[in-house]
Amino acid sequence: MGGLSLQKRVAAQLLKVGVTKVWMDPSHREEIKNAITKADLRKAISHGYIKKRKEKLKFPEETKRKKKTAGNRKGKKHSRYSKKRKWINTIRPLRRMLKELKDNEKINQQMYRQTYRLLKGGTFRSRAHLKLYLEQKGVKV
């Protein structure tokens, strides 16, 4: 599409994309060529003669991963991954494990309550840590 570089550049400004992301309908080439003002190009865009090209992501997961790497992080550690979210991700599996042990009658109600309170206080870092504590207390896990 030679001879439309001016139109393409102005259309890119209007569409807020780069010049390479502007698509022009080949069947309406003459109308686009005659559009020399921004108003003319806006009209061509509204008619659908000029469009924004969709961005193609080959590997969206990889793009997301690259955005999360060290050089791209902005903000403090806990503004990206809050302390509350960290707590939730720690406590839920621990409570689930404790409930399973109680349901399978491996621990009694008293032991359950006591351990639950310890969980709530943040005593255990992980399921393995809880398992170690229970084994020291004589519970077969």
If the chain, 141 residues long, is cut into consecutive pieces of 10 residues, what is the mean pLDDT of each piece? Answer: 82 94 93 92 94 83 83 86 94 97 95 97 96 94 82
10 contacts 42 by C-beta, under 8 angstroms: no
Claim: this prediction has a pTM higher than 0.85: no
Task: Look at phi and psi of residue 132 and say left if phi exceeds 0, alpha if psi is from -120 to 50, else beta.
Answer: alpha
Residue ranges of domains in the chain: 5-52, 82-136
Helix, strand, coil percent values for the chain (each to nearest 5)? 65, 5, 30
Q: Where are the alpha helices (DSSP H) in 2-126?
A: 5-15, 29-34, 38-47, 60-67, 77-80, 83-103, 109-120
Q: What is the CATH number that goes with domain 5-52? A: 1.10.1650.10
Report residue 50 as tokens: 């000029």
Give the CATH fold of the 82-136 domain. 1.10.1200
